[in-house]
């Protein structure tokens, strides 16, 4: 069975109440001892810092004296040296040459070994070795006039108990390894002799900075360093708990009498805020970020509850910001999706993609451009933009296909005058299936200095969408073109003819204009197929369509009605104007023979490549004179075509049989017979429209 925290705390308090009183006293005594030990450690820390500071100050004084002695000339050295010694900074000043011969000395310097301040720290002599440091000294090199080393100047201060006592007032100090007395094994110390021995023995076995105990005292060893060359041990008195036992026993007994009543209250007061905090955490974990924990005090639990409340508030605000950002991004993506699915306007699609990319990355402005021949053409903040390929930032991205980001003037190519001005930029290519189709760029992200790799990845995504949109629009345009045009001749097909005829008739009727309809049919086209093959027929149809387009206006519409029959719609054109166009077409078609390819070797009849004379017959009808509807006008033009065929072909006829509108055959052209072979030919002439051609009119 699981116990609550309150039950466990109550049981723990009761165990303390009914536990052995002696055990409680021992625990309290150990606690007091630990506190006293901590205080002793603090005193040792203070004493250690004081000793190191005092020795460091002494070393600096000795170094100053030795430096002064090293700088004095020989004639002025002795009286100045006496003055320095009289100042109390050093006990003696000695000048030696490089071989160790004494050149000058003032005062009686103690015998070596000396603890040198500037020398490397060495291990102190162990107790009982029969010797120890007798003095502390500072050494300064002598230089002659040429700057060559000539010896050393020493400032020496003898080590004695008085010097050690001045190092710190907070503890006793012992020099480990002996004193100034010759062959003495007793350490130099401010402690009594018997205690100094024990302190030195304990300190010699301690690592630097560690604390040991001996004879009721705490001991710490100070290892020599560059600014404190003396091997020292410092000691302070240990704690005393002599009369503390009865007091502790009474305190424990008193605690036992009141703990039973306090146990439940204390457990409840401790666990109640924890239970409230746990409940708030559970609600927050369940998604309720408005959950708050009561703050009932300034203790740790109170601070934890306050921190939890601040965390949930910030998380709630952050989630709100994320939700708003998500909704904004969702709106942009929804608008982008609707635009991609509802329109094939490439300019609008690219504008929406650019606007969405700016909103997602926080860019101040941007540009989207597509490759057109030798330049990039697009928009930047709804303004037209044209940048030559290979120049500037945008042209380089399009030419290399490599994304670029950075700061203008520091990274990447320099901007050209045609590009938008900016401080920072990121630009990625719009990649098509086989090449770079354009560039998408953003400039000067708001609230940040530069774009980062995450912005490059984001912009790549939008560039991919833009590239897909470009491909989709181009595929749609191509599909539209193929659905409305004849694949062989490139003219509009039969399906488009019906819609265009209806639209042009309505327009002519609304504005009171005339609409001229021409029905064209190649003469004896079947003989071309039979004589030269279907490849020659196809070549004739393609060349025929090219010549027709060359003879009509941009507003005129040309259609392949089926097989070798074609239709022209001439807006705002009357019958005489239609006859004029028909005559011009007859002359353009029949005036020059058409080149056809050779018939294939495996054909039944092999003929080489050559030129074939081709003629055309034309029927002309006008709305509303010859019909009040599109089908009626077409029927009238078709009847006029029959009349042209009956008149001998290679001519045109107008609907109604008006003699003034009947054209003669084109001069110099044959009106009958088979096509003439000049040097070979081939083609099919089969209808590619959705309807089969009408019955032959004796072509």
- What value does the mean pLDDT take over residues 452-475? 81
Q: What angle do CA 634, 635, 637 make, to 5 degrees?
A: 65
Q: Among 3-17, 163-177, 441-455, name the one with the lowest average pLDDT.
A: 3-17
> pLDDT tens-digit profile of 432-444?
777 888 898 999 8
Residue 177 pLDDT more than 60?
yes
Q: Among 346-360, 384-398, 598-612, name the one with the lowest average pLDDT.
A: 598-612
> pLDDT tens-digit profile of 8-25?
666 666 666 656 555 666
DSSP structural state of residue 660: G
Q: Among 108-122, 239-253, 376-390, 400-414, name the one with the lowest average pLDDT.
A: 239-253
> pLDDT tens-digit profile of 401-429?
889 988 888 887 888 888 888 889 999 99
> pLDDT tens-digit profile of 114-162?
888 865 444 444 443 334 788 888 888 888 778 788 888 888 888 888 8
Give the pLDDT of residue 332: 60
CA distance 549 to 420: 43
- What value does the mean pLDDT take over residues 156-185? 72
- What value does the mean pLDDT take over residues 188-205? 79
> pLDDT tens-digit profile of 481-523?
777 788 899 899 988 899 999 999 999 999 999 999 999 999 9
Give the pLDDT of residue 181: 45
Tokens of 488: 């062989």
Give the pLDDT of residue 88: 60
Give the pLDDT of residue 341: 56
More confident residue, 408 or 186: 408
CA distance 635 to 629: 10
Q: Which CATH code is given to the segment(s) 485-661?
A: 3.30.70.270
Q: Among 123-127, 138-142, 250-254, 654-658, name the one with the lowest average pLDDT.
A: 123-127
Give the pLDDT of residue 671: 39
Give the pLDDT of residue 468: 79
Give the pLDDT of residue 339: 61
What HEC string does 82-96 produce? HHHHHCCCCCEEEEE
Q: Which CATH code is given to the segment(s) 329-475?
A: 3.30.450.40
Q: How is the chain split into domains, by residue range?
A: 39-237, 329-475, 485-661
Whether 37 and 45 have beta carbons less than 8 Å apart is answered as: no
Give the pLDDT of residue 347: 76
Across 32-41, 415-424, 655-664, which has the greatest mean pLDDT?
A: 415-424
Residue whose C-alpha is closest to residue 573's, from 503, 521, 650, 517: 517
Q: What is the mean pLDDT of the chain?
A: 77
- What value does the mean pLDDT take over residues 664-687? 38
Give the pLDDT of residue 251: 67
Looking only at the bridges linking them, the beta strands covering 188-189 and 172-175 are: antiparallel
Residue 455 pLDDT more than 90?
no
Confidence of residue 600 (pLDDT cuts 50, 70, 90): low
Confidence of residue 84 (pLDDT cuts 50, 70, 90): low
By CB atoms closer than 10 A (0-12, 13-18, 19+), residue 447 is exposed
Confidence of residue 552 (pLDDT cuts 50, 70, 90): very high
Tokens of 61: 């004084």
Confidence of residue 660 (pLDDT cuts 50, 70, 90): very low
CA distance 688 to 536: 16
Give the pLDDT of residue 631: 94
What HEC string does 346-388 produce? HHHHHHHHHHHHHHHHCEEEEEEEEEECCEEEEEECCEEEEEE
Q: What angle do CA 510, 515, 521 make, to 5 degrees?
A: 150
Tokens of 637: 């033009």
Residue 385 pLDDT more than 80?
yes
- How much of the chain, in percent, has pLDDT values that exceed 70? 74
- What value does the mean pLDDT take over residues 208-227? 78
> pLDDT tens-digit profile of 514-529?
999 999 999 999 888 8
Give the pLDDT of residue 246: 67
């Amino acid at each position: 069975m699981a116990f609550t925290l309150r039950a466990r705390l109550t049981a723990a308090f009761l165990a303390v109440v009914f536990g052995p009183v002696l055990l409680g006293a021992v625990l309290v005594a150990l606690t007091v001892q630990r506190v006293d030990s901590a205080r002793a450690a603090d005193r040792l820390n203070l004493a250690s810092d004081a000793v190191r500071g005092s020795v460091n100050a002494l070393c600096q004084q000795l170094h100053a004296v030795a430096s002064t002695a090293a700088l004095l000339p020989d004639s002025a050295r002795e009286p100045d040296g006496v003055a320095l010694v009289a100042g109390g900074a050093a006990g003696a000043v000695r000048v030696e040459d490089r071989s160790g011969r004494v050149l000058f000395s003032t005062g009686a310097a103690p015998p070596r070994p000396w603890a040198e301040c500037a020398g490397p720290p060495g291990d102190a002599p162990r107790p009982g070795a029969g010797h120890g440091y007798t003095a502390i000294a500072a050494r300064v090199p002598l230089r002659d006039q040429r700057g060559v080393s000539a010896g050393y100047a020493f400032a020496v201060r003898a080590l004695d108990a008085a010097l050690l006592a001045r190092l710190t007032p907070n503890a006793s100090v012992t020099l480990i390894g002996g004193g100034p007395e010759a062959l003495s094994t007793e350490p130099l110390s401010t402690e009594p002799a018997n205690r100094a021995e024990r302190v030195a023995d304990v300190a010699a076995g301690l690592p630097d900075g560690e604390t040991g105990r001996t004879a009721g005292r705490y001991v710490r060893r100070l290892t020599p360093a560059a600014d404190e060359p003396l091997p020292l041990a410092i000691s302070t008195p240990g704690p005393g708990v002599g009369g503390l036992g009865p007091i502790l026993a009474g305190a424990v007994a008193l605690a036992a009498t009141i703990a039973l009543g306090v146990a439940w209250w204390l457990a409840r007061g401790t666990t109640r805020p924890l239970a409230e905090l746990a409940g708030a955490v559970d609600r927050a974990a369940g998604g309720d970020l408005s959950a708050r924990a009561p703050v009932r005090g300034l203790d740790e639990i109170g601070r934890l509850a306050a921190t939890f409340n601040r965390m949930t508030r910030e998380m709630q605000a952050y989630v709100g910001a994320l939700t708003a950002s998500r909704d904004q991004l969702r709106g942009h993506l929804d608008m982008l999706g609707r635009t991609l699915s509802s329109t094939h306007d490439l300019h609008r699609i690219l504008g929406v993609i650019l606007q969405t990319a700016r909103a997602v990355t926080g860019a101040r402005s941007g540009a989207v451009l597509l490759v057109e021949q030798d330049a990039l053409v697009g928009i930047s903040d709804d303004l037209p933009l044209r940048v030559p390929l290979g120049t500037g930032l945008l042209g380089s991205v399009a030419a290399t296909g490599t994304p670029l980001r950075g700061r203008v003037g520091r990274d990447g190519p320099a901007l050209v005058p045609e590009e938008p001005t900016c401080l920072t930029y990121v630009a990625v290519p719009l990649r098509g299936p086989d090449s770079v189709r354009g560039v998408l760029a953003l400039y000067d992200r708001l609230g940040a200095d530069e774009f980062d790799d995450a912005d490059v990845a984001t912009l790549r995504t939008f560039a991919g969408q833009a590239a897909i949109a470009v491909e989709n629009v181009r595929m749609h345009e191509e599909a539209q073109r193929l659905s409305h045009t004849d694949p062989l001749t490139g003219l509009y097909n039969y399906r488009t003819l019906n819609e265009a005829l209806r639209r042009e008739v309505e327009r002519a009727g609304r504005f009171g204009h005339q609409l001229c309809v021409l029905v064209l049919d190649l003469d004896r086209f079947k003989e071309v197929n039979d004589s030269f093959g279907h490849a020659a027929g196809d070549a004739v149809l393609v060349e025929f369509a090219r010549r027709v387009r060359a003879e009509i206006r941009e507003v005129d519409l040309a259609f392949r009605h089926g097989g070798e029959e074609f239709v022209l719609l001439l807006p705002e054109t009357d019958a005489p104007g239609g006859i004029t166009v028909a005559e011009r077409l007859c002359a353009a078609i029949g005036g020059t023979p058409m080149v056809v390819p050779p018939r294939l070797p495996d054909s039944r009849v092999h003929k080489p490549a050559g030129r074939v004379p081709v003629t055309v017959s034309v029927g002309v009808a006008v709305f509303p004179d010859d019909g009040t509807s599109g089908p009626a006008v077409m029927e009238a033009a078709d009847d006029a075509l029959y009349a042209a065929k009956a008149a001998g072909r290679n001519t045109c006829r107008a609907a109604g049989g008006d003699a003034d509108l009947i054209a003669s055959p084109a001069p110099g052209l044959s009106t009958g017979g088979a096509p003439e072979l000049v040097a070979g030919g081939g083609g099919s002439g089969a209808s590619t429209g959705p309807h089969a051609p009408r019955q032959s009119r004796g072509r």
